[in-house]
Structure 1
């Protein structure tokens, strides 16, 4: 595992560690509105992923619903494609601020990977634009909740970009990377929708409540 991915995972774990009791949002309506708009955009991304996959991945037999064979799992490792941050149901240990932090990190991650792939494949620009818009909605949610989210260092993102770019050899490797990325993105979007539904119905507990 390269140093950039280790640093990224460290940030996720550190973000979990420093979070404490839930904070009341300064503007609950803005938080709910941001979650609803983000969910609508994620649903659009989910609808678009199959068409993007069909247009960019032309290897016979490699579909969105293809079983991940041992060879594909080896490609995940060799290409250094990191998994998305894990999203869980809201709880005392997985607070709203941790959840939104991971949403933000995941959307940045896939925006970054698609940027690398778009240098070798056409047809990814619309998904990139949607992920940028999604990041904007998540940022508004963070502002509504007054979240102190740890940001991943920009240089670490750039290093990870360059690392993936350097591992893409030949059209086959590029298409496999696109397949794996779109498959992971679809799974992450399903998790995002569940989490955004929870955020949209979130109500902070009164102070002193147990």
Structure 2
């Protein structure tokens, strides 16, 4: 064996020893402040979900508009399009393409959306004030999550629900708008709970996968 081969082998074994001796740092767990804010937000979302059926019963009295799972009729779909009620922000599972920052930002956008819609509808009928206040408190917790994780500040469009007011020409339009808003809000809350659970455990799962 020539001297160059011997030197190369020595370098190889030395590199292997150094690599094995360097400790691999596990992915850090979710910061305690972020986890606490996520838990508080989840508790509030669960409260909103418990209250939604009673709010719907108190505000929607048009026959056929219930919270029971049922496919939308063509007439109801046309009404939703006519009223211009925005779609709920989509919350996907956390990944490299859908980061925690993006997820929390969409949570914020959704809360602002439903706060705005309920604010417009609260001018036409009673029974929505407490729900809107809960969304305001939820947004506070989500903002605390942003601060804890040092996410970049964004300015969601807070005017996306303002067109609804000009399209509520009668009681039927109001009833449909309330029904659709509460139905979409319920679905959004279910997505929120899944996302909040994922945020509280995301890094810990990633560390365990190594």
Same fold (TM over 0.5): yes
- What corresponds to 2:100 in structure 1? 96
Q: How does 1:1-210 map to 2 (within 5 A)?
A: 28-65=31-68, 66-153=70-157, 157-158=158-159, 160-203=160-203
Q: How far off its partner does 1:115 sit?
A: 0.2
Aligned-partner SS, 2:202: coil
TM-score, normalised by the number of residues in structure 2: 0.81
The count of aligned residue pairs is 181
User: 2-side partners of 1:198 and 1:148: how far apart?
Assistant: 20
Q: How far off its partner does 1:149 sit?
A: 3.6
CA displacement, residues 35-64 of structure 1 (integer Å, 9 cap, x when unaligned): 000000000000000000000000012101
Q: How far off its partner does 1:151 sit?
A: 1.2
Q: How far off its partner does 1:150 sit?
A: 2.2
Q: Check the 8 A contact 2:108/2:142 in 1, yes or no.
A: yes
Unaligned regions of 5+ residues in structure 2, if any?
A: 1-27
User: 2-side partners of 1:199 and 1:121: how far apart?
Assistant: 36
Q: Check the 8 A contact 2:113/2:161 in 1, yes or no.
A: no
TM-score, normalised by the number of residues in structure 1: 0.81
Q: Check the 8 A contact 1:90/1:99 in 2, yes or no.
A: yes
Q: How far off its partner does 1:86 sit?
A: 0.2
User: 1-side partners of 2:179 and 2:153: how far apart?
Assistant: 30
Unaligned regions of 5+ residues in structure 1, if any?
A: 1-23
Q: How far off its partner does 1:202 sit?
A: 2.6
User: 2-side partners of 1:71 and 1:93: how far apart?
Assistant: 37
User: 2-side partners of 1:176 and 1:115: how far apart?
Assistant: 15
Q: CA RMSD in A?
A: 2.1
Cα distance change, pair 162–103 in 1 and its aligned pair in 2 (3 A): closer
Which stretch shows the higher mean deviation, 65-74 or 76-85?
Answer: 65-74
